[in-house]
Amino acid sequence: MEHANLQVVGHAAEELGRLAVHHVSYLWLIPLFPLVGAAINALVGWKLQRMFGKKIVHRIAVTAMLAAFAVALRAFWQLLHLPADERFLQDTLWNMLTAGRVTVDLAFALDPLSMMMVLVVTGIGTLIHVFSIGYMADEPAYWRFFSYLNLFIFAMLLLVMGDNFAVMFFGWEGVGLASYLLIAFWYTDPEKAKAGMKAFVANRFGDFGFIAGLLLLFWALGGAWTPRDGILRNTDYQPAAELNAVAPAATAAEADALAPRVDGVKVGPTLNFRELRDQVVIEATGVKERLVHTHIWGVSILALIGILLFVGAMGKSAQLPLYVWLPDAMAGPTPVSALIHAATMVTAGVYMVARLNFLFALSPSAMGWVALIGAATAIFAASIGFFQYDIKKVLAYSTVSQLGFMFIGVGVGAYWAGTYHLLTHAFFKATLFLGSGSVILGCHHEQDMRKMGGLKKYMPITRWTYLFACIAIAGFPIANGFYSKDEILWKAFTSRHLELFGVPTPWLGPLIYAIGIIAATGTAFYMYRSYYMTFTGEYRGNSGHHDEHNVDPHAAVAAKASALSHAVHADDGAAHAFGSDAHAPSHGAVSLRAADHAHAVHATAHGHDAGHSAPAHDAAGHGHHGGTPHESPWTMTLVLALLAAGSFFTLFLGIPAAWTHTAPLLEHWLEPTLLAEVPFANVEHVWEYVFQGTGVLAAVVGWLGARALYKDGISDVPARLKARFEAAWTVVYNKYYVDELYALVVLRPSVALARALSRFDGTVIDGLVNFVGAIGRTLGRLDAAIDKYLVDGLVNAVAQATWGIGRQMRHVQTGRIQTYLYGALGGALVVVLLNFLIS
């Protein structure tokens, strides 16, 4: 290990200076271990599993995780012992590419922010690996699952540890790949495979924005460009002359030597976060000044960069309008949902915005958009969450909603609060997802909450951890969720600097606060709803008409169901079919509430369930659909307990400054990284208590509402409400038809265009080629005809004539000497005669 090689360029203490860099040489081990684990399981896992059993597979995977976690702790230890403003570890492996001004190293960096992320990823990641041992025990392709999981961790570590945009993007896409593989893990089910595809492609929309933003940023910093007439170029912005020159560098050393410097700070285009930060943050370079005043196409270039980068975040972090893939991603195994689609990957967008806080802070417009879209997503997803019956879908929409909260945080400039919510959310949402996984396993791969109920009797540990996580997400002060959410909303209320389209909008902060508090109420409501539906009341899994369907779906409803439940049920079914099958005639499905229709729908619903439980059929120890629920094995409950404990203990990282008069621990820790100064309105501390009280009140309202409606499953109010607001309910239940809208606006036109173009290519373009060919062939034929009949005919005619004449003349030739003599005589006679005649 190389030792602390300190590079500091001193600046005045109050002014931000260059980052002090400690070069170390062990950071690469953190991503390496999961990579090795993934590689071993991918290449020889199936063989190992067959030879030594499944134990060896998960031992490899978990060992890799533990090793990575251990190295991360080692790095954490080193960071802790450095002065606060020197906490930056860097490890360069090699130069990946250099050409002109583009130079990219494969390098890792740890600063307080990425350290936090690494600990979350490896720590919670390890726990989820352990959880998976129990959850996936029946899976034949056990090795494949753990290989993918390790691969995901590898990519996620690249994402958070990347020293530059390129390495971050490696991770960014790598997690997308792992997510694709894991969502489509049970690929024999076309629906699940399709969900994976959807996730990847939707993310690609985001990536497009990300790349565009990145290119724009690179350019804005003075990327190598040569002005040419007639070629589109930026007329507003003239970078310094030295930046403008095309200075081709072939190696990294040359590129470094060519880069212009101001006060020893490298300026100019870079993909490196630290170099970017240095030149933007240090006023003396003038980069910040230039960027702020640069406009392109009439828009502030910083706003455009920020929004485009945020589009990337929208894809990865499932914000409006690119969130559609996340609910579908629940097709993956539940630990995957916990790890990727709740705790880590989906927070990548938040992380990215926080990482670039110094850039976003320069553009109030970009911040305004981030916050606004975050708020819109928070309330939108929460509203869908109200009415879902699939427990994982509820959690999925809850995740989307919570991610919206995080974006409110980083959008209004409360970067540490957004990041803190990321951390707390990782704990309580992982608990919730894993709890739901435990429930699903306990109920034999049943995900519909209507077929659960009363599980607290069967699975106490799962129940208590789930409840505690509900408390956390709802925002009661005894768990971590309250502290992060409260800080975000408070900061949102006090922010007055946001802009939209470059227009100052001081009202935006309070508006976002209002939306946020409503969304928070909703959050409490639907989370408790899921809790009550799942754990209280009677177990509905193997009683009532649902079970009868197993025997004879057609007879069951008519025979047994009460009138009320019958109606409700038919209703659900109709809507369900409607949601899952876009081809169903919508109005017919809604208006037709006849029993026979419900039958048909239930038959298909049941088919779906069978599909879901298909992987469990290999299981020896599992009963059939409808057995008694049971508590999960200790590996799973232990993980649940640990995560719930984490949800409690992490609250101490964010005790508000109003209570203690010192900055919260995490804010203090993150300060060197999240250095952007954002002006917040100065509000009396008293108000902060009021707002905290409001937050708790929102949670209580949501909780009580859910309790009244769903506790023990005895209230018939939900059914009546549903009947009353039929149309609205249907629209929300079907997720506002956003998927259908996408199909209509994006998918079908694209496919139609593709078909049309390929037909165009086959007929018109290729037709043109063939037409030219045909013309050539026709000309050829014509030419051949001319040749045959005219040119060749002439030649043949001459030959023919010669031949004919010769044939005739042959008769003269008798071979008799006398004949020849006559000829000679005749000839002489003619000569003589002519002689007389002429003379």
Partner 1 sequence: MFLNPGNVLSWATFFPLAGAAAIVVLLAVRYVANLPKKLVDDGARLIALLASGLSLVAAIAAWRMYDPTETGVQLTQHFVWIRSFNIEYLVGADGLSISMVLLSGLISFVATIASMPWWSGAKAAEMAGMVEHDHGHGDDAHHPKHFSVRMVPGYMFMLLLLQTGMMGTFVALDMFLFYVFWEVMLLPMYFLIGVWGGPRKEYAAIKFFLYTLAGSVLMLLAIIGIYYNSAPAMLADGTMSAGHTFNIIALGHQGAQGQFLSAAPILGMAFTKLAFVALFIGFAIKIPMFPFHTWLPDAHVEAPTPISVILAGVLLKMGIYGILRFNYAILPDATAWAAHAMAVFGVINIIYAAFVCLGQKDLKKLIAYSSVSHMGFSLLGMAAMTPAGISGAVLNLFTHGIISPMLFLIVGVIYDRAHHREIEKFGGLASELPEYTAIMGLAFFASLGLPGLAGFIAEFMVFTGAFPVFTGYTIISATAVIITAAYYLWAIHRMFLGKLNPVYKGYPDLNWRERISLYPLAAIAIVLGFYPQAILGVINRSLHLIIQNIRPL
Partner 2 sequence: MISLNHFLVVGALLFTLGLVTVATRRNAVGILMGVELILNGANVNLVAFNHYVTGGVTGQVFALFVIVLATAEAAVGLAIVLSIFQTFKTIDVRHADLMRE
Q: Alpha-carbon torsion 62, 66, 71, 75, what sign? A: positive
From the list partner 1, partner 2, none, which binds 246 (C-beta under 5 to 8 Å, kind-based)?
partner 1
61 binds, among partner 2, partner 1, none (CB under 5 to 8 A by kind): none
Binding to partner 1 in span 151-170, by CB under 8 A: 166, 169-170
Which residues within the stretch 760-789 sit at the binding site for partner 1 (CB under 8 A)? 761, 765-766, 768-769, 773
Which of 459, 487, 461, 483 has the alpha carbon at shortest distance from 472?
A: 483
With respect to partner 2, which residue has the nearer C-beta, 559 or 830?
830
Window 212 to 241, contacts with partner 1 (CB under 8 A): 212, 215-216, 218-219, 223-234
Q: Please choose, out of 202-210, 331-339, 411-419, 491-499, the segment that lies near partner 1 by the rule CB under 8 A.
A: 202-210
Asked if 251 touches partner 1 (CB under 8 A), the answer is: yes
As given in the structure block, the two tokens for residue 80 are: 């802790």
The entry of partner 2, partner 1, none that residue 223 binds, CB within 5 to 8 Å by partner kind: partner 1
How many angstroms separate the CA atoms of 6 and 136, rounded? 47
Residue 772 or 825 having the CB closest to partner 2:
825
* 106-109 contacts at long range (C-beta below 8 A, 24 or more positions apart): 106/167, 107/162, 107/163, 107/164, 107/167, 108/27, 108/28, 108/30, 108/31, 108/161, 108/162, 108/163, 108/167, 109/27, 109/161, 109/162, 109/163, 109/273, 109/274
Beta bridge partners of 261: 266
User: Going by C-beta distance under 8 Å and a sequence separation of 6 or more, which residues neighbour residue 814?
Assistant: none
Under 8 Å between Cβ of 646 and 481: no
Residue from 596, 617, 603 nearest 552 by CA: 603
- Residues 95-127 as b/e (b if ≥16 CB within 10 A, e otherwise) read eeebeebbbbbbbbbbbbbbbbbbbbbbbbbbb
* Residue 223 or 335 having the CB closest to partner 1: 223
- From residue 430, alpha-carbon distances to 453, 629, 743 in Å are 21, 22, 31
Residue 753 contacts which entry, partner 1, partner 2, none (Cβ below 5-8 A, type-dependent): partner 1
- From residue 641, how far is each of 441, 449, 470, 503 by CA, in Å? 17, 23, 14, 49
- Toward partner 1, which CB reaches closer, 591 or 778? 778
Residue (344 or 495) nearer to partner 1, CB: 344
Contacted by 816, from partner 2, partner 1, none: CB < 5 to 8 Å by type? partner 2
Q: How far is the CB of 803 from partner 2 (least distance, A)?
A: 16
Please report whether residue 817 would count as binding partner 2 according to CB under 8 A: yes
Cβ proximity to partner 2: between 226 and 813 the closer is 813
Q: Which of 292, 627, 822, 827 binds partner 2 (CB under 8 A)?
A: 822
Q: Which is nearer to partner 2, 81 or 810 (CB)?
A: 810
Question: At closest approach, how far in Å is the CB of 808 from partner 2?
Answer: 14
Does position 816 interact with partner 2 (CB under 8 A)? The reply is yes
Site string for partner 2, 794-813 (x = CB under 8 A): ----------------x--x
Q: CB of residue 109 vs partner 1: minimum separation in angstroms?
A: 17
Which H or E element spans position 102? strand 102-110
Q: Which of residues 170-189 bind partner 1 (CB under 8 A)?
A: 170, 172-174, 177, 180, 184, 187-189
- Count, in order, helices (H) and strands (E) of the chain: 37, 10
CB of 289 to partner 1, least distance (A): 21
Contact 347, 319 (CB under 8 A): no
The answer to whether residue 661 forms part of the interface with partner 1 (CB under 8 A) is no
**Mode of pairing for the β-strands spanning 299-300 and 295-296:** antiparallel
Q: Closer to partner 2 by CB, 724 or 810: give it.
A: 810
* DSSP3 helix / strand / coil % (the chain, rounded to 5): 70, 5, 25
Looking at 20, 56, 211, 567, which residue binds partner 1 (CB under 8 A)? 211
**Residue from 127, 139, 156 nearest 61 by CA:** 127
Helix (H, G, I), strand (E, B) or coil at 81: coil
Identify residues 730-759 at the interface with partner 1 (CB under 8 A).
Answer: 750-751, 753-759
Question: How distant is the alpha carbon of residue 230 from its chain centre?
Answer: 38
Contacting partner 1 within 408-467 (CB under 8 A): none
Residue 350's nearest CA partner among 66, 32, 116 is 116
Residues 56-75 that bind partner 2 (CB under 8 A): none
Question: How many chain residues touch partner 2 (CB under 8 A)?
Answer: 10
Q: What residues contact 297, with CB distance under 8 A and at least 6 apart?
A: 304
Give residues 298-317 in contact with partner 1 (rule: CB under 8 A).
none
Residue 621: contacted member of partner 2, partner 1, none (CB under 5 to 8 Å, by partner type) = none
When asked if residue 818 is in the footprint of partner 2 (CB under 8 A), the reply is yes
Closest distance of CB 773 from partner 2, Å? 54
Taking the least distance from each CB to partner 2, the nearer of 682 and 818 is 818
- Spatial contact of 659 and 458, defined as CB atoms under 8 Å apart: no
Which of 175/439 has CB closer to partner 1? 175
752 binds partner 2 (CB under 8 A): no
Stretch that binds partner 1, among 249-257, 273-281, 632-640, 657-665 (CB under 8 A): 249-257
* Distance in Å, CB of 219 to partner 1, minimum: 5
> Would strands 89-99 and 21-23 be described as parallel, antiparallel, or unpaired?
parallel
44 binds partner 2 (CB under 8 A): no
Question: Which string of b and e fits 361-388 if b means at least 16 CB within 10 Å?
Answer: bbbbbbbbbbbbbbbbbbbbbbbbbbbb
Q: Nearer Cβ to partner 1, position 232 or 809? A: 232
Residues lying near partner 2 in the complex (CB under 8 A) are found at 810, 813-818, 821-822, 825
